[in-house]
Amino acid sequence: MQRALTLHQTTIGKKLVMALSGLVIVGFVIGHFLGNLNLYRGQEALDAYAHFLQGLTPVLWGTRLLLLLAFGVHITAAFSLWSRNNKARGSRYKKHQDMATDYAARTMYWSGPILLLFVVYHLLHFTILPAHPGEVYRNVVEGFQNPWIAGVYIVGNIALGFHLFHGIFSATQTLGANHPRFNSYRRDAAVAISAAITLGNLSFPISVLAGFVTV
Amino acid sequence: MSEELLNLTLHVWRQDGPSQPGRFETHPATGISTHMSFLEMLDVVNEDLIEKGKSPIAFDYDCREGICGSCGMVVNGVAHGPQRLTTICQLHMRQFNDGDELWLEPWRASGFPVVKDLVVDRSAFDRIVQAGGYISIRTGSATEANEMPVAKAMADQAMDAAECIGCGACVAACPNASASLFTAAKISHLSLLPQGQAERLDRARNMVAQMDAEGFGGCTNHGECEAACPKGVSLRWIARMNREVVRSAVKSDSGVKTARR
Ligand code: HEM
Ligand code: SF4
Ligand code: FES
């Protein structure tokens, strides 16, 4: 037991923490996206869905606490590994050529902090300081009619897409799920999940900007 | 393949000792046969340097057959040079073109301090192996060969992991200078075999602790190590190492168990 609790002090333990907390957030992001599809069912459906969630007080606060914890440990582990990994190189190479990595993997320390800023903005925008408290549909549509606000959501979700792609692929490896027989599915699943969520989330501000969804 | 002669320009990292500052020095390599190996090309350059009374470029090697793991340097940003699955001693000059400019750098990692020029101190790998990369055996007369049956599939996997020659290219290529691929290969190869079961949990725990203590970075699943590895050691062993570490954290017994695939 004591060993399990000191695991997080090792580099591998920290990665396990990042993978598990990341997957908790991925689970939330999927649920959040599916719920938001109510936007397309109209004002009444989305507002009713929002009130339904507000009514589930213990579940709502349980989820919020879990997510706060997941974000906290994810970011703490990310920065502690980051400072360690920076020191591990010592002197820099004059020449460097990448052989295997990809854009999403190389930019995790950009997409992650962009996501964090986006999440803070998003919470302030809709949850903490909404323009019209209780009128979720109106807040969303009127918000996205402003191209600057829509732009923030578009940038935030593109960052999400890249972070999710490498995150899901990487987390399965970190958690030990690498087998030659399944590896191509692992990659396909990471592409499919991150593409579905990103394109779906992007469709909300774009539909409003294009005038498909109106107040 | 017909022989050609190449004229190259080398920019070589020169460093007098671990705490000395390093610098690049430019040397021509003229009349190099395409049949030479990369290290033979450096031998030619060194003969020239010695004749001119300059100090030769220090680089590591032993077998020059791609099996011992002694050689290694970064050529134009790629560990062991441009040919995949090939140690620098087995790399031939026909991989290069006349007029090429080559930048030669040592493995750069805090865990691998430079000894001189392109030679680095890889004793960190020895200490990782000492921490658990061994099995306890009865001494005395050799045991009967078939006393401990090993399934073919397990033997094959153990062999794949055991291909690691400890060259350190994985550390050199990793953006985090992580020693995960090396450590994972060593942990996996023994944990797959019946002889490796007795120390299985302690091995994973202790080797990973030593890997961290040596100042290597953590894995971020970029796959650069696998691409640089001259022996094609697979990332799947890192996934396996992580499973072994979880196992060692939740189980406390060191009893003999059969390896699972
Ligand atoms: C909020 C700020 C965030 C930061 C600074 C951050 C940073 C990072 C970093 C640096 C990694 C490691 C990448 C690697 O090792 O190659 C990572 C992995 C991951 N992130 Fe995030 N992230 C953040 C938010 C998120 C969010 C919002 C999600 C989910 C939607 C998420 C999901 C994941 C997953 C699943 C992993 C994989 C863990 C692994 O490599 O095993 N992260 N994150
Ligand atoms: S895993 Fe490959 S690159 Fe790393 S030390 Fe072993 S043989 Fe060299
Ligand atoms: S000198 Fe032995 S592997 Fe290159």
| Predicted ipTM of the assembly | 0.94
Torsion sign over Cα A149, A151, A154, A157:
negative
B148: number of Cβ within 10 Å: 10
Q: Which of A89, A93, A99 sits opposite B105 (nearest CB)?
A: A93
Identity of the amino acid at A163: H
pLDDT at A191: 96
pLDDT at B256: 46
Q: What is the pLDDT of residues B111-129, one digit of tens each?
A: 999 999 999 999 999 999 9
B260 domain residue, yes or no: no
Interface test with B, best of A93, A163, A166 (most B CBs within 10 A): A93
Q: What is the DSSP string of A11-44?
A: HHHHHHHHHHHHHHHHHHHHHHHHHHGGGGG-HH
Torsion sign over Cα A24, A26, A32, A37:
negative
pLDDT at B159: 97
Evaluate if residue B196 carries a pLDDT over 60.
yes
pTM greater than 0.90: yes
Which of B116, B133, B159 is the C-terminal boundary of a domain?
B116
Q: Are residues B76 and B132 in the same domain?
A: no
Helix axes B180-191, B236-250, angle to 10 degrees: 70
pLDDT at A17: 97
Q: Mean pLDDT over residues B147-164, rounded?
A: 94
pLDDT at A2: 63
| B175–chain A Cβ distance below 8 A for any pair | yes
Determine whether the shortest distance from the Cβ of A30 to ligand 1 is under 6 A.
Answer: no
Q: Are residues B96 and B74 in the same domain?
A: yes
Q: Are residues B231 and B188 in the same domain?
A: yes
Q: Contact at 8 Å (CB) between B185 and B161?
A: yes
Measured distance CA(A153)–CA(B148) in Å, rounded: 61
B259 domain residue, yes or no: no
Measured distance CA(B7)–CA(B22) in Å, rounded: 25
Which of B86, B116, B146 is the C-terminal boundary of a domain?
B116
Determine whether the shortest distance from the Cβ of A116 to ligand 1 is under 6 A.
Answer: yes
A55: number of Cβ within 10 Å: 9
Q: Are residues B242 and B127 in the same domain?
A: yes
Parent domain of B216: 123-251
Give pLDDT < 70 ranges for chain A: 1-5
B256 domain residue, yes or no: no
B133 domain residue, yes or no: yes
Which residue has better confidence, B195 or B137?
Answer: B195
Task: pLDDT band for B1, please (50, 70, 90 cuts).
Answer: low
Q: Are residues B155 and B110 in the same domain?
A: no
| A15–chain B Cβ distance below 8 A for any pair | yes
**Integer angstrom CA distances of residue A191 from A98, A162, B234:** 21, 10, 22
Q: What is the pLDDT of residues A198-208, one digit of tens each?
A: 999 999 999 99
Which of B116, B148, B172 is the C-terminal boundary of a domain?
B116
Strands (E), chain B: 5-14, 23-33, 74-75, 78-79, 101-105, 114-116, 119-120
pLDDT at B253: 57
Evaluate if residue B108 carries a pLDDT over 80.
yes
Alpha carbon of B142: minimum distance to chain A alpha carbons (Å) = 35
Measured distance CA(A205)–CA(B12) in Å, rounded: 54
Identity of the amino acid at B3: E
Q: Are residues B166 and B224 in the same domain?
A: yes
Q: Contact at 8 Å (CB) between B58 and B20?
A: no
Residues in Cβ contact with B202 at an 8 Å cutoff, skipping those fewer than 6 apart: B132, B248, B254
**Integer angstrom CA distances of residue A215 from A41, A50, A211, B69, B104:** 12, 17, 10, 69, 64
Q: Contact at 8 Å (CB) between A194 and A143?
A: no
Measured distance CA(A184)–CA(B174) in Å, rounded: 23
Total domains in chain B come to 2
Interface test with A, best of B176, B237, B253 (most A CBs within 10 A): B176
Task: pLDDT band for B260, please (50, 70, 90 cuts).
Answer: very low
